[in-house]
Structures are given as C-alpha cells and as structure tokens.
C-alpha cells in the first residue's frame, strides 16, 4: 500500500470574495491537572476556582481527559493573574497549569512543573546578588523571576524567588553554600502556598499517610525528614496607625498647626480606646464603676496584707497597666 499521499503538506488558502467571517471572541486557553490520585469532581472544582479567581470576563472550565482540564479565559489579565499568582489548589491538591500557545494541542502541553515563590533564609551578606539568587533558583528547578521590591536593601531576613519546581522530584529542605573563603553554610528554604506533600519522601501530591515508603520505614512521624516548617507562614507587619506622629530621619518636627489639629484627634482616640475597653470587658468595667460610686476603693480588693488591683479594661492591660500588687499603707 502506497502512503506517499499522506506525506504531502496541506496549506489552507484564504479565498477572496467570501462573506466576512463572524466575529469570534478572543480567548486565552490554559490547560492544567491536579497533583492527586483522587477523582476530581468537575462541578465542585469549577465553582471553587471560579469563586477564587473572579475573572472579569468569566472562564469556561471543561474536562478533556480524567484529571486534565481546559480553562478558557476571555481577557488576558485573567489568564495572567491565574498563572502569576499561583499555585492554586482544590481540595488541598496543587493545580499544575500552563498556557496553550497557538498551534499546540492541549494534551501535548508539558505539565511537569509548578511555579512557586520560595523564601531563601540565612543567606550571608555578599551572596545576595541577583546572579547568585538566579543560580540558586536553577539549583531548585528553573528560575522564573526574583522579588525586586527590596532590591536596594543591603540585607534582608529572607529573599524571595519564583521557581518552576519539577513535580516528579522531592522538594529541597536546604542547600549547602560554599563560600569564597572555603567555609560553608546552610541556606534553608520555605515554600509559599505549599499544599499537600509527603513528610517522608518530600514529593508533592500525596501525604505520608498514603506513602508506601513511609509505611515501610516504620518510624515515627516526628522522625520524618520533612515537616510543616517548610511552609512559609504569613507575616503581618504593623499597621500604619502612627504615621501622622512619626518624624522621618532627617525630617523637620511637626508644625504647630498640625499638633493643635491632632490634639482633638488624640483626645477622641483616647475616648475610643476607653469605649473599646468597655465593650471588651463590659462586665468588669461596670463592676469597677459601681464600686467607685459607692466609695469602695476604686476597684481594689483586699487579699491578706496586700491590695490587689484588678478588673481593668483589656486595652489598659495590654498597655502595661494590668494586674499589679503593692504593699498596703
């Protein structure tokens, strides 16, 4: 049988004098799968991810094969948000997704890595340049980009890099850094938005409860090489509630007009604090006020030879005016 005809290439030709094609909405398709052996319920997954992403023009989610899904976006910013702000998860199972380029079959898109922000802790001074951080990212997987928000700082508590981590290899806990003087130190890693992974083998996609290696090891869970400390916690800094009273380094003192204007604000703030304390400890404050009106010593109660001050608002306790003991006169 001759099969030479199959080798001939077919090239579509644009014909003229035809009716203009119907306007078709531009789309940005993404294909993805979840790191799990469980069956993913399509309808539940569609509802959860759509409510989390909140795409401005909506998203279509269909199942191509078991655990292979197509996410069609109708605005470029929606697709970029999903790809840049991940990894995402459903039922604590990480979603591995990639954009489907023009002319590529969705089933042929490689889904073997997941982009994730990684924190590098204990990086010594002199080894924090962008070149070294990129090399560390390539050591973990494939470097994507760095966090340049604090690029001008001489040294940070930790550095953030975004890395495409291979899903067929265990995650790394730390890395031995050989310094220029011949000595070495450890750089530890923490992973942001790290979902289900095994504390024994370090693989993403399953837990130690369903790991054959962990069962055959016959050791306690607290002896496993990995643990929840690899997950980066959310750090919340102080709220900027005192900026109006702070003078920057090298700046001028506050003007008198500003000071006078803020005096009323400060008095109102004190009243608000007292009111808040009354709401939080309403029972104790009412009791103290009642004893004060009756002349019972302003909330003091005798205990042996000492006078114990108690029943104070919660806010005052936080400020350092809480439970105190003093000898009686």
Under a CB-based contact definition with an 8 Å cutoff, are residues 87 and 34 in contact?
no
CA distance 79 to 314: 47
Tell me the CATH architecture of domain 28-108.
Answer: 2-Layer Sandwich (3.30)
pTM over 0.85: no
Identify any residues that bridge with 326 across adjacent strands, giving them in sequence order. 307
Look up tokens 């605005």; give the residue.
Answer: 75
In the chain, % helix, strand, coil (3-state, to 5) comes to: 30, 25, 45
CA distances from 75 to 45, 82, 105 (A): 21, 11, 21
Let me know how long the chain is. 329
Q: What is the pLDDT along the chain (329 residues), one digit of tens a residue?
A: 556 666 777 777 766 666 666 656 789 999 999 999 989 999 999 999 999 999 999 999 999 999 999 999 999 999 999 999 999 999 999 999 999 999 899 999 999 999 999 999 999 999 999 999 999 999 999 999 999 888 778 888 999 999 999 999 999 999 999 999 999 999 999 999 999 999 999 999 999 999 999 999 989 999 999 999 999 975 554 555 555 555 565 566 756 655 555 455 445 544 444 444 444 444 444 444 445 555 544 444 444 444 444 444 444 333 333 444 444 44
CA distances from 252 to 129, 239, 242 (A): 35, 23, 17
CA distance 27 to 98: 14
Residue (of 225, 317, 306, 328) closest to 280 by Cα position: 317
């Amino acid at each position: 049988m001759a099969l030479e005809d199959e080798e001939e290439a077919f090239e579509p030709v644009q014909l003229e004098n035809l009716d203009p094609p119907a306007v078709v909405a531009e789309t940005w398709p993404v294909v993805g799968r979840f790191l799990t052996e469980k069956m993913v319920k399509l309808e539940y997954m569609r509802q959860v991810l759509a409510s989390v992403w909140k795409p401005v023009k909506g998203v279509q989610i269909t199942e191509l094969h078991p655990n292979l899904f197509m996410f069609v976006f109708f605005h470029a910013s929606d697709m970029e948000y999903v790809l840049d702000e991940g990894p995402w998860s459903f039922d604590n199972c990480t979603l591995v997704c990639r954009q489907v380029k023009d002319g590529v079959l969705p089933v042929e898109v490689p889904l073997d890595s997941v982009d994730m922000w990684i924190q590098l802790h204990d990086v010594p001074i002199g080894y924090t340049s962008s070149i070294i951080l990129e090399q560390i990212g390539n050591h973990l997987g494939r470097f994507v980009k760095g966090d340049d928000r604090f690029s001008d700082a001489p040294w940070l508590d930790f550095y953030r890099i975004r890395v495409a981590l291979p899903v067929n290899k265990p995650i790394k806990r730390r890395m031995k850094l050989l310094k220029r003087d011949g000595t070495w130190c450890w750089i530890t890693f923490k992973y942001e938005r790290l979902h289900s992974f095994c504390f024994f083998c370090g693989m993403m996609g399953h837990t130690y409860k369903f790991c054959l290696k962990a069962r055959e090891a016959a050791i306690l869970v607290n002896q496993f090489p990995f643990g929840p400390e690899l997950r980066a916690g959310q750090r919340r800094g102080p709220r900027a509630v005192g900026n109006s009273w702070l003078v920057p380094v090298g700046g001028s003192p506050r003007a008198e007009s500003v000071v006078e204007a803020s005096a009323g604000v400060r008095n109102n703030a004190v009243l608000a604090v007292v009111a808040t304390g009354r709401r939080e400890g309403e029972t104790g404050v009412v009791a103290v006020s009642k004893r004060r009106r009756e002349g019972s010593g302003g909330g003091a109660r005798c205990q042996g030879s000492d006078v114990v001050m108690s029943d104070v608002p919660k806010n005052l306790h936080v400020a350092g005016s809480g439970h105190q003991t003093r000898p009686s006169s």
